[in-house]
Amino acid sequence: MNYKRFLYSQIINDTRAIKRDPLLKYMIFMPIFLSLFMRWLIPILQQSLQSNGIDITDYYDLILSYFFLLMCPMVYGMIVGFTLLDERDEMTLFAIQVSPLNMRTYLLYKLVVPVILSFISILIVLPLSGLPYPDLNTLILINIQTTLLSIMMALILVIYASNKVEGFVIMKGSGILFLMPTVAYFVDEPWQWLFGIFPTYWPVKSFWLWYHNDSYLHYYLIGWLILFISLYYLLKRFTKKIIIM
């Protein structure tokens, strides 16, 4: 099989599908729009809140982790999830299973795309936001982990939604996975560890500790374990629902 031709044709097909959908067409640029908006909004908030004795710089780690570190994988995971829903509705996924194309190769392409998009976008939007962050090398390490959350988002949509209408409902409901680390931020340890049931908590916690020059390695390693368990479970569910073995 010519994998270059397959890759080229899939990129063209996905680009056309996104262009046809007004929502997806907007969502793909959402992280950049958000970073530019935050670059304008944060100085205004800082000036306004300082008069009330609130220093917004104390919450830079929270702002960066939620609006960029989590938002990018969530957005690109949703985009790929909705394209997979379309392909399932059009019986494309089932047609692939009886074609010479290896279904695992097709799925690998679909799940690698949001990871790459998330990884690149985080490295772009963080500097674009104008907010300070520590060294780039450690950011890349944490970024690799958080980008895999995009796979989780895409699989949740495909597994639990029967169509795009249900997909929008599940998209809103699954937002709790990305909101919970923000709630955890205001909870003291050890109670904060209860939020560890959410795979999104661990990379964000690593980021907070790293941002304040604290040791984060144990949280980072636990994050990989929780993430792999979650993705393994979701991939098994996806296999049972979509792929005829």
- Could you give the angle at the alpha carbon of 107 between the alpha carbons of 102 and 113, nearest 5°? 130
Q: Are 236 and 229 in contact (CB under 8 A)?
A: no
Q: What are the structure tokens assigned to 142, written together?
A: 């944490």
pLDDT at residue 245, rounded to an integer: 41
Q: Are 211 and 205 in contact (CB under 8 A)?
A: no
Whether 76 shows a pLDDT value over 90: the answer reads yes
Tell me the whole-structure pTM to 2 decimals: 0.87
What's 66's DSSP letter?
I
pLDDT at residue 92, rounded to an integer: 65
Distance CA(214)–CA(224), nearest Å, equals 19
Mean pLDDT confidence for 97-107: 68
What percentage of residues in the chain have a pLDDT greater than 90?
Answer: 31
Band (pLDDT 50/70/90 cuts) for residue 243 is low
Question: 35 — phi, psi (to 5°)?
Answer: -65, -40
Q: Are 199 and 152 in contact (CB under 8 A)?
A: yes
Question: 134 — phi, psi (to 5°)?
Answer: -70, -160
pLDDT at residue 229, rounded to an integer: 94
Q: Highest-confidence range of 78-87, 89-98, 189-198, by mean pLDDT?
A: 189-198
What's 99's DSSP letter?
S
Whether 150 shows a pLDDT value over 90: the answer reads yes
pLDDT at residue 209, rounded to an integer: 92
